[in-house]
Amino acid sequence: MHALISPAGLAAFPCSGRPVVLDVRWRLGGPPGAESYREGHVPGAVFTDLDTVLAAPSGEGGRHPLPEAADLQRALRKAGVRTGQPVVVYDDADGSVAARAWWLLRWAGHREVAVLDGGYAAWQAEGHPVTTEMPSPEPGNIEVRPGAMPVLTANAAAALAREGVLFDARAHVRYTGETEPIDPRAGHIPGAVSAPTSEHTGVDGRWRSPGELAERFAALGLSADAPVGAYCGSGVTASSVVLALEVAGHAVPAALYAGSWSHWSRDPERPAATGSDRG
């Protein structure tokens, strides 16, 4: 299954083979995505919360650490996810929260998963139906087997920033340290490259073409054989870097530093670079 699916592609699935659809709308600072879901969603979509399903409780591991395998399996089975059955995920922002769900399912060993290109807005714009009806999916049988996507520890992220390419998906002003509204310290991991996730999509919210994404990453210094990873504030938007690289045709999946800056910045012994230079 390709990493992206168009609204028309999702709508064209026959009823008998329709994928499980997960609504993962979430916004930093609210309103809660569950409210938007209740006001209208893709028919059959199951609301899946970032904070309680797609992440473990915040703490020393960061603001959105990876969930425990058993907890994730329980939630995905409740949503109806079955082994080998396609899953489509969507949000209503820049696709980064949907990318986290995509990445997490891939990390769990489920390859048949795609992000809805353009999200809920694109679904509506093309005139596809929406509903307020709450689905009651049959329980799934997915077996969560963590480790199918590469992850980075803090030390590994530091090394990759020097020996390969480590992309920082946050807004550039957070990379430079001009502002830090959330985490304990400002700046970036020394050696990391600024690659704001907002540049993965166009003004219409749809993902840029494979060629455009490939050109962007090449302009940021990525070669075909370079080891590559990504981080952000809490491991959510960095997932969109991993997805964008796959769409761009990068052969090996990028590694994700799941704790990201929310984990890195907790330790005063870890250095922080500021300014536009990699440091």
Cα–Cα distance, 247 to 244 (Å, whole number) = 5
pLDDT at 114: 98
Are residues 103 and 158 located together in one domain of the fold?
no
Q: What confidence tier does 31 reach under pLDDT thresholds 50, 70, 90?
A: confident
Residue 143 in any domain: the answer is no
- Average pLDDT for the chain: 96
DSSP label at residue 131: B
Q: What mean pLDDT do residues 187-202 have?
A: 96
Residue 138 in any domain: the answer is no
CATH assignment of the domain containing 106? 3.40.250.10
Q: What mean pLDDT do residues 142-163 have?
A: 98
Are residues 109 and 23 located together in one domain of the fold?
yes
Residue 206 in any domain: the answer is yes
CA distances (Å), 93 to each of 41, 90, 213, 237, 266, in order?
A: 14, 9, 19, 11, 28
Q: Tell me which of 126, 143, 166 is where a domain ends.
A: 126
By CB atoms closer than 10 A (0-12, 13-18, 19+), residue 69 is: middle
Are residues 118 and 165 located together in one domain of the fold?
no
Q: Is the pLDDT of residue 159 over 80?
A: yes
Are residues 196 and 113 located together in one domain of the fold?
no
Q: What mean pLDDT do residues 229-246 have?
A: 97
Instruction: Identify the domain containing residue 184 by its residue range.
Output: 154-266
Are residues 121 and 159 located together in one domain of the fold?
no
Q: Is the pLDDT of residue 34 over 80?
A: yes
By CB atoms closer than 10 A (0-12, 13-18, 19+), residue 266 is: middle
CA distances (Å), 64 to each of 9, 56, 187, 267, in order?
A: 31, 6, 19, 17
CA distances (Å), 1 to each of 58, 114, 118, 221, 259, in order?
A: 32, 7, 17, 29, 28
Residue 87 in any domain: the answer is yes
Q: What mean pLDDT do residues 151-179 have?
A: 98
Q: What confidence tier does 29 reach under pLDDT thresholds 50, 70, 90?
A: confident
Residue 132 in any domain: the answer is no
User: Which residue shows structure tokens 């979430």?
Assistant: 26
User: How many angstroms from the chain centroid is the CA of residue 110?
Assistant: 15
Give the DSSP H or E segment for 46.
strand 46-47
Cα–Cα distance, 236 to 54 (Å, whole number) = 9
Residue 111 in any domain: the answer is yes
Residue 41 in any domain: the answer is yes
Q: Is the pLDDT of residue 187 over 80?
A: yes
Burial 160-173 (b: 16+ CB within 10 A, else e): bbeebbbbbbbbee
First-last CA distance in the chain: 39
Are residues 15 and 121 located together in one domain of the fold?
yes
Bridge partner residues of 229 (DSSP): 166, 255
Q: Is the pLDDT of residue 177 over 80?
A: yes
Are residues 122 and 15 located together in one domain of the fold?
yes
Q: What confidence tier does 253 reach under pLDDT thresholds 50, 70, 90?
A: very high
Q: What mean pLDDT do residues 203-217 have?
A: 95
Q: Tell me which of 73, 106, 126 is where a domain ends.
A: 126
Are residues 15 and 81 located together in one domain of the fold?
yes
Residue 230 in any domain: the answer is yes
Q: What mean pLDDT do residues 122-128 have?
A: 97
- The Cα diameter of the chain in Å comes to 55
Q: Is the pLDDT of residue 136 over 90?
A: yes
Are residues 41 and 116 located together in one domain of the fold?
yes
Q: What percent of the chain has pLDDT over 70?
A: 100
- Contacts with 96 (C-beta within 8 Å, 6 or more apart), sequence order: 169, 197, 236, 237, 239, 240
Q: What mean pLDDT do residues 76-101 have?
A: 96
Q: What confidence tier does 15 reach under pLDDT thresholds 50, 70, 90?
A: confident
Name the CA radius of gyration of the chain, rounded.
18
- The residue annotated as part of the active site, out of 75, 108, 193, 232, is 232
Residue 232 known to be catalytic: yes
Q: Is the pLDDT of residue 196 over 80?
A: yes
**Tokens of residue 173, six digits:** 């002003």
CA distances (Å), 275 to each of 9, 174, 186, in order?
A: 43, 10, 10
pLDDT at 155: 98
The amino acid sitting at 84 is: G
Global confidence as pTM:
0.96
Number of folded domains that form the chain = 2
DSSP label at residue 275: S
